[in-house]
Amino acid sequence: MNKSYTFQLLLAVTIAFSALLQSCKKNVEQLIVTNNEAIMATKTSVLAIQNDDFSEISWSIAKSQPTSTHEVNGEVVNNKLYIFGGHDYTKRPNTWSQTKRSYVYDPVANVWSAIADLPHLPNGANFGGVTNEGLTNDGTYIYFAGGYICNANGTGQVFGTKQVWKYNTITNTYEQLPNLPRALGVGQLKYLNGKLHFMGGADLSRNDVSAHYVLDLNNLASGWKTAAPLLLAVNQASSAVLDGKIYVVGGARGHDAASIAQKALQVYDENTNKWQRLADIPISRDHIASSVIVTGNHILVLGGETSYNITSKLVSAYATATNIWAELTQMPAARSGGVAALLNNNIYYTGGNFSINNYKGVPVLSGTTVVLSLTDVHQRWRICLH
């Protein structure tokens, strides 16, 4: 082999190797760009979670609750879901009566545990409790006001009570608070700035009321005071607190076969003591007392009845910033009278219509991508150099 040929061969090999390195470098640089884009996409996804920017929900089944219930209510405290009472399924179909059984759900352990029975009177060995009460919490205590209670021997129900109770999630005990001014049921209760607000519902004769009563928890001795009434008297509605205002969603006028589901969204400003109407929910909904959650700057309404005994799978989202409703992925089954909760950024719906099912919904974020690690980039360089 002559020197000229050897030189030409070495030159060709050098050029080829240089081209290979350049190509590999471009690939690695592209990996780095892709990695950075992926990181940015992931950051965007995190922001999307914080801003509640999703339209799809992936549903699955979580641990079923211990007993089947209907018109059960619940609250989330310290990332655990507490559910109370509801109608006693063991006495159906002949009797509508309440149960005092109550439970707490831990989403991390995926376990339900029994807690102290409800204290509502009257009660006995196998009856007591409440349904259709107003329910809210302040981060430690859960408050109950009004609702349907058992009759004297537990063979039926009474369509209202004045009773108001407080449940301590730390000590698992109840304490009675000042009574409502009159016996009411199927109303809404919300905690706002140290005060309880009871709104709407119906009286013992099942006449709908627009009443709005307020109890200052720092001045219990003064009792309940009257505040501005609802613009539309509704029962079986739901409510939420967001940005210092109380929102009352949907509900019904009338009861049972005579009920007419409503679309109204009413908002209360305590600074002005005034209500106003906002954009109607697109499809009328009632039997949603504990079926509304707040996530980001949205209010979500899950399930409910669109008309008498017609249950729904709908998941409707209201954006406070735009006053616009949107429909999200529907629930796996039509439900009303159950409990919705936000736990660890996941959406749950449990109970209702005498079901024990506990559905778990994971928000699906657009633009989610897998991030390549720096190890991947390093491995590509090793391939290039070997």
pTM of the predicted structure, to 2 decimals: 0.83
| pLDDT at position 45 over 60 | no
- 271 and 148 within one domain: yes
pLDDT band at 53 (very low <50, low <70, confident <90, very high): confident
- 341 and 286 within one domain: yes
Range of the domain at 28: 3-49+369-385
| Sequence-separated (6 or more) residues with CB below 8 Å from residue 109 | none
pLDDT reported for residue 365? 81
pLDDT single digits (tens) 230-284: 999 999 999 999 999 999 999 999 999 999 999 999 999 999 999 999 999 999 9
User: Residue 30: which H helix or E strand, with range?
Assistant: helix 3-51
Structural contact between residues 146 and 180, judged by C-beta atoms closer than 8 angstroms: yes
CA–CA separation, 202 and 233 (whole Å): 9
- 326 and 231 within one domain: yes
pLDDT reported for residue 46? 34
pLDDT band at 8 (very low <50, low <70, confident <90, very high): low
Give the CATH number, domain containing residue 69.
2.120.10.80
User: Closest Cα to residue 361, out of 340, 381, 376?
Assistant: 340
pLDDT band at 2 (very low <50, low <70, confident <90, very high): low
- % of the chain residues with pLDDT over 90: 78
Least confident of 70-79, 164-173, 202-211, 364-373: 364-373
Read off the pLDDT of each residue in 129-137 and give the average, rounded to a whole number: 98
Read off the pLDDT of each residue in 297-301 and give the average, rounded to a whole number: 97
pLDDT band at 21 (very low <50, low <70, confident <90, very high): very low
- 105 and 25 within one domain: no
pLDDT reported for residue 30? 44
Q: Which residue has the higher pLDDT, 83 or 16?
A: 83
| Sequence-separated (6 or more) residues with CB below 8 Å from residue 7 | none
- 166 and 34 within one domain: no
pLDDT band at 367 (very low <50, low <70, confident <90, very high): low
- 89 and 8 within one domain: no
| pLDDT at position 293 over 70 | yes
Structural contact between residues 134 and 147, judged by C-beta atoms closer than 8 angstroms: yes
pLDDT single digits (tens) 163-215: 999 999 999 999 999 999 999 999 999 999 999 999 999 999 999 999 999 99
- 88 and 18 within one domain: no
pLDDT reported for residue 368? 45
- 131 and 84 within one domain: yes
pLDDT band at 22 (very low <50, low <70, confident <90, very high): low
- 258 and 184 within one domain: yes
- 274 and 157 within one domain: yes
Cα angle 336-340-344, degrees, rounded to a multiple of 5:
160
Q: For all residues of the chain together, what is the average pLDDT?
A: 87
| pLDDT at position 84 over 50 | yes
- 99 and 38 within one domain: no
Give me the torsion for CA of 226, 136, 173, 223, rounded to 10°: -10
- 92 and 208 within one domain: yes
pLDDT single digits (tens) 114-126: 999 999 999 999 9
Number of domains the chain is built from: 2
pLDDT reported for residue 169? 98
CA–CA separation, 240 and 248 (whole Å): 7
